[in-house]
Amino acid sequence: MIVHKTLKRLAAASLAITLVGGAVPANIGAFDLSRSTSVVASAESEISISNATVTMKAHSAKVQSVELNGTKLQKDIDYTVSYSQTDSDGKITEFSAPPKQTGNYKAVITGIGDYQGVITRSFDIVGSGYDGISIIDAGQGLHTPSNEHLFLIFDKKQNTKWCSRVINSGVYANRDSDWLLFEADTPFAIHNYVLTTANDTSRYPGRNWKSWRIYGSNSEAAADYTPSYTEHKVTDIDEDIWSLVNQVTDDTVLQPVNYTEFAYAVPHNRIKYKYYLLILDDIVDTTDNIQQMSEIEFNAALPVSVTHVDAVPADCLNAGNIEHWYDEYNDKYYLDEEAQNEVDEEDVIIPASGHSYGRPEWKYDAKNHTATATFKCENCEDVQTVDATITSKTTSPTYVKEGKKVYTAAVKLNGKTYTTNKTVILDKLTYTPPTITCLKGDGAVKLQWTDVKGAEKYAVAGFISGKWRILDQGEGTSYVLKNLLAGKEYKVCVATKLNGEWFTDPSNAIVVTPKLKPLKDNPAVTYAKGNNAVKLSWDAVDGAEKYAVAGFINGRWKILAEGIGTSYVLKDLKAGYQYKVAVSAMFNGKWNTDLSNAITVTPK
Ligand SMILES: [Zn+2]
């Protein structure tokens, strides 16, 4: 906590309110110091704000800043602001909110927190001759007398004027341009304004306005407007705050006459603003150092004055209008030159039609990952190409049916969604028959095969008598073929049932055969004699498939008979003759040719 021990009484010089645009004129902002001088610190541990520099607009209740020894104090932390007004009887009225009525007030700045003491500053709410319009601030020459003060331009009296002058600066071009900042209680749009020349404009035509600008704003920051000058001209208008409403350059309307009204139109202007800023860039004779204007009135009730407006067809982007007559001073529309038939603006405007896009032209990339839709306006050259979002839905192919992938591209243009589909056919699945292997068994083989994806069933087929025949079917991938003859070859294949249909591709066929049986000796043969006959008998040989009776005839063995029995009768033999015979057993389909069991028989 800083302790100030040497608190001085306020000197009048330290109270000069900083006024942008010039010092306070004689009758405005004559600050009442009576309360300030009574401020004395009451607590040594707090800092008195009595030496603070207070910045206010000339005619605004707003305290822009309170600065003490280079520190900017914070409103409602370091100080509060209230207002008071003293009437002619000395009665004081207090206000907590900034006053708006025309009159002289005091801003009461009271130290709080680390600060104490009170400073007051006097200010005027100028108001105007117009309800709800009050001047906040202005820049005007140093030597403007009170009877020619800025607010007189708003007082509805032609015989008073705003006449700002700078005696010592010489010409207007060499002094900072005048400006006027005012506030409307109710925002309004300017349709016209009327300037009224002053009492002696014909004598001093150079004082007439030549170039000026009017800006509007609804930003509260507009109330704090402070001009910056470059070579005495107002520059650096903050476009975030201010919008240009009207500009007149090298005016040719105002004439060097006294007490005469000249109207200016601001056609088609509908934007309502609360704050307006008028900047006077130049006067007719820049070698004069005085500007003057008796009155400015906004939205004056001017007589109807219509201008013919040709019909303009609308197109895609630009609105058109029907033929009509427009009163730019009053922003009114008529269907006749006599201005009898007034209509609304919307009745004469033909809205822009907007582009007419038909179905777009779609273009997919090679992989269908991206697509664009190109829209062409039917009525103009406009072309819009929009990137699409793509979704897809796949129906998988099967072994019996093609699948498909349907791509849906969608774009949105002007709130409308357009879609298109593109279908890509997916080929049927290709059937590859399983690969078959086999294991040999005794009189059997075990077939095994590779699994086929999606197989519902398998069938084992055998190639029998020149035709494939299904031998059996099931769900596994192996099968035992039984009752096979050793030494015999069997051609088999496996078919697959997929998606309800049998797929038979015998290219996977293999030839199988069971294990070979061990060869055994031919049986020993006995015989019994008969009349011209011999009965041969032998014991069964384990595993023999059949037997053959062979006779040695003319030096060669010849099969005489074959069968599965174990005896055989040789008939029609000649009595007393010797016959050499043998029995051969068959294994694995082949005769055992070792006929060392041959015997010689002789019938009766
Ligand atoms: Zn178009």
Which DSSP string corresponds to 188-222? E--SEEEEE--TTTTT-GGGSEEEEEEEEE--GGG
* pLDDT number for residue 319: 94
Q: Is 523 exposed, middle or buried (0-12, 13-18, 19+ CB in 10 A)?
A: buried
- pLDDT tier, 406 (very low <50, low <70, confident <90, very high otherwise): very high
* pLDDT number for residue 322: 97
Three-state SS for 121?
A: strand
* Residue 281, both tokens: 């860039």
State the distance from the centre of ligand 1 to the C-alpha of 325, rounded, in angstroms: 29
State the distance from the centre of ligand 1 to the C-alpha of 241, rounded, in angstroms: 36
State the distance from the centre of ligand 1 to the C-alpha of 379, rounded, in angstroms: 5
State the distance from the centre of ligand 1 to the C-alpha of 354, rounded, in angstroms: 6
- pLDDT tier, 10 (very low <50, low <70, confident <90, very high otherwise): very low
Mean pLDDT of 164-168: 74
pTM value? 0.56
Q: Is 163 exposed, middle or buried (0-12, 13-18, 19+ CB in 10 A)?
A: buried
- pLDDT tier, 34 (very low <50, low <70, confident <90, very high otherwise): very low
Write down the architecture of domain 436-512 according to CATH: Sandwich (2.60)
Same fold, 2-298 and 436-512: no
State the distance from the centre of ligand 1 to the C-alpha of 352, rounded, in angstroms: 10
For residue 475, the 8-state DSSP code is: S
* Residue 323, both tokens: 């033929």
- pLDDT tier, 169 (very low <50, low <70, confident <90, very high otherwise): low
State the distance from the centre of ligand 1 to the C-alpha of 443, rounded, in angstroms: 88
State the distance from the centre of ligand 1 to the C-alpha of 384, rounded, in angstroms: 10
- pLDDT tier, 287 (very low <50, low <70, confident <90, very high otherwise): confident
pLDDT digits (tens, 9 = 90+) for 111-122: 999 999 999 998
| Residue 187 pLDDT greater than 70, yes or no | yes
Among 2.60.40.10, 1.25.40.10, 1.10.357.10, 3.40.50.300, name the CATH number for the domain at 525-601: 2.60.40.10
Mean pLDDT of 36-46: 48
Question: Which residue is it, tokens 């590859």?
Answer: 432
Separation in Å, CA 254 to CA 205, 262, 280, 411: 10, 6, 14, 58
* Residue 426, both tokens: 């997916």
State the distance from the centre of ligand 1 to the C-alpha of 409, rounded, in angstroms: 24
Considering only 160-169, 249-258, 308-317, 589-598, which range has the smallest mean pLDDT? 160-169
Helix or strand holding residue 117 (H, E): none
Distance CA 420, CA 360 (A): 9
- The reply to whether CATH 3.40.1190.10 applies to domain 2-298 is no
pLDDT digits (tens, 9 = 90+) for 482-537: 999 888 999 999 999 999 999 989 999 999 999 998 889 999 999 999 999 999 99
Distance CA 164, CA 150 (A): 8
List the beta bridge partners of residue 400: none
Could you give the percent of the chain with pLDDT greater than 90? 70
State the distance from the centre of ligand 1 to the C-alpha of 326, rounded, in angstroms: 29
State the distance from the centre of ligand 1 to the C-alpha of 353, rounded, in angstroms: 8
State the distance from the centre of ligand 1 to the C-alpha of 322, rounded, in angstroms: 20
Answer whether 460's CB lies under 8 Å from 469's CB: no
* Residue 145, both tokens: 């007398």
Which DSSP string corresponds to 496-515? EEETTEEE--GGG-EEE-PP
State the distance from the centre of ligand 1 to the C-alpha of 360, rounded, in angstroms: 14
* pLDDT number for residue 350: 96
Please report, to the nearest 10 degrees, the dihedral formed by the alpha carbons of residues 471, 472, 477, 481 taken in order.
Answer: -50
State the distance from the centre of ligand 1 to the C-alpha of 359, rounded, in angstroms: 14
pLDDT digits (tens, 9 = 90+) for 445-476: 999 999 999 999 999 999 999 999 999 999 99
Answer whether 319's CB lies under 8 Å from 350's CB: yes
State the distance from the centre of ligand 1 to the C-alpha of 413, rounded, in angstroms: 14
* pLDDT number for residue 481: 94
pLDDT digits (tens, 9 = 90+) for 429-447: 999 999 999 999 998 999 9
State the distance from the centre of ligand 1 to the C-alpha of 469, rounded, in angstroms: 73
For the chain, the domains span 2-298, 307-350, 361-426, 436-512, 525-601
How close are the terminal C-alpha atoms of the chain, in Å?
159
State the distance from the centre of ligand 1 to the C-alpha of 387, rounded, in angstroms: 20
State the distance from the centre of ligand 1 to the C-alpha of 310, rounded, in angstroms: 23
| Residue 418 pLDDT greater than 90, yes or no | yes
* Residue 505, both tokens: 């591709």
- pLDDT tier, 313 (very low <50, low <70, confident <90, very high otherwise): very high
